[in-house]
Structure 1
Amino acid sequence: MKTTNLFVELVVVGTGATLFVVLLLFTLFGAQPWLYQWISKSDDVASIIPVLSLIYVLGIVVDKLAYRLFKNTEDHLRSNMFKVESTEPDKLKGYYDARHHLYTSPNTTAAIEAFEFGRSKIRICRGWTVNSVLIILALNFFMIFRSGWDSRISVGTIAFGLLAWGVRWSWSVATAVEFNWLNRFHNMSSETPKTNVPVPPAE
């Protein structure tokens, strides 16, 4: 994956994490002037870099958290889709063999780009599933400890609940599409892959 694409992906995920942090700060400290000043200055050119850096770092944290939370489910789906007869204890051998075949076969640049684009969508869906749950928690904490009952916060909670369901469903669809596509590519390709080319990790 190109560095620019990865950066944009982490910023997309980090934006939701930043919203969670801001809501949490308002819950802990209330409507402090320094919070309003920090938010109001976020459109200043001099403050864009540190704010973007924070969003990027939070994106990394949430991405890795989501990876760990979804890993067992993804590994189970991979082992079921890519079953192979093998004496090795690794149940994911079939999946990694298919990935290795894709990355090491000749003339597959376009296929690799399509595969990585699909992986990017999966990671964004995973990240925003976590983000949505965190934001729901932050909204409810704010309502409990700061504002009391607020219909707008209740609407926000419902909206992010629907978003959490939507991105979780999108993750399952994107994952199924990826596995089916990769399985078809592996079965249809007649090229013998090279064995000395490193393959990116499956995240």
Structure 2
Amino acid sequence: MTSPTQPEPPALVAATAMFIEVLVVGIGALTAAVLLLVALIGPATTAKLAPLAGSSAAAGVALAAAYALGIPIDRAADTALTPHRRRLRTRFFPSNTAYAQARLRLADFPVLAARADYARSRMRICRGWTLNTLALTLTADLAMLRYSFEHRPLILGATTALGAATAFGFYRAWRSLTTTGYRKLAEQTVPATIPPVPVPSQPGTTPP
């Protein structure tokens, strides 16, 4: 039997998934922060500090920093996209109360709830990486401006174009996942309205 103090498996799985989501988003944020640092300190200092990056201590600090950065980046991305998310939700739910009630009804179906959680996990990653990609593009451009190499304008232009396209791709994926999630939630929890079946009139009687 499971001890009362031992976490239930669904809660443990949800916590693990949330940790992974934050870490995946935080890795992108940490990479952008490192690129910004490279742009600020310049090539000479970067070359001196490069050997430290391969140490075990640096790896541990990087993992912790990635998780810590993932939290504010996720919140910032959510705040930025909240107005658009609310507009998408009103296409399927007329009010916040209707949406909350649908979420509660979905909890009665564990299989459907697990699928919805998986879809929301992908949505949150796409949401965070929409912001991450923009930050990576900007910091990569700034870092390259500190170095001299051949065809720098061409590479800068290609990096900027690729970054903008990737950010738009993550945004489109977030929008598609969000819309599909609301639509499926409405279909699975909102009872369909069945039109009344007309009763045929008997011969010799007047329809009411």
Q: TM-score with structure 1 length normalisation?
A: 0.78
- Equivalent residue number for residue 63 of structure 1: 74
- Retained in 1: the 8 A contact 2:29–2:132? yes
Q: Deviation per CA, 1:27-71, whole angstroms, max 9, x where unpaired?
A: 110132453133333xx3x44332111111111111011010011
Alignment size in residue pairs: 175
- Retained in 1: the 8 A contact 2:141–2:159? no
Do the aligned partners of residues 55 and 113 (structure 1) sit closer, same or farther apart at CA in structure 2, a change above 3 Å counting? same
State the distance in 2 between where 1:147 and 1:5 align.
Answer: 39
- Equivalent residue number for residue 21 of structure 2: 9
Could you tell me how far 1:153 is from its partner in structure 2? 3.7
Q: Are positions 1:76 and 2:87 aligned together? A: yes
Could you tell me how far 1:112 is from its partner in structure 2? 1.2
- Equivalent residue number for residue 156 of structure 1: 159
Do the aligned partners of residues 38 and 76 (structure 1) sit closer, same or farther apart at CA in structure 2, a change above 3 Å counting? farther
- Equivalent residue number for residue 23 of structure 1: 35
State the distance in 2 between where 1:49 and 1:140 align.
Answer: 28
State the distance in 2 between where 1:151 and 1:22 align.
Answer: 23
Q: Which has the larger radius of gyration?
A: 2
Mapping for residues 1-203 of structure 1, pairs under 5 Å: 2-31=14-43, 32=45, 33-41=47-55, 44=56, 46-83=57-94, 91-103=95-107, 105=108, 108-144=109-145, 146-147=146-147, 149-188=152-191
CA-atom RMSD, angstroms?
A: 1.9
- Retained in 2: the 8 A contact 1:129–1:167? yes
State the distance in 1 between where 2:30 and 2:191 align.
Answer: 44
For 1:55, what is the secondary structure of its paired residue?
helix
* 2:134 alignment partner AA: V
* 1:70 alignment partner AA: L
Identity level (%): 28
Q: Deviation per CA, 1:85-115, whole angstroms, max 9, x where unpaired?
A: xxxxxx3222111112112x2xx21111111
Q: Which runs of 5+ in 1 are unaligned?
A: 84-90, 190-203
Do the aligned partners of residues 150 and 65 (structure 1) sit closer, same or farther apart at CA in structure 2, a change above 3 Å counting? same
* 1:75 alignment partner AA: R
- Equivalent residue number for residue 204 of structure 2: none
Q: Which runs of 5+ in 2 are unaligned?
A: 1-12, 193-208
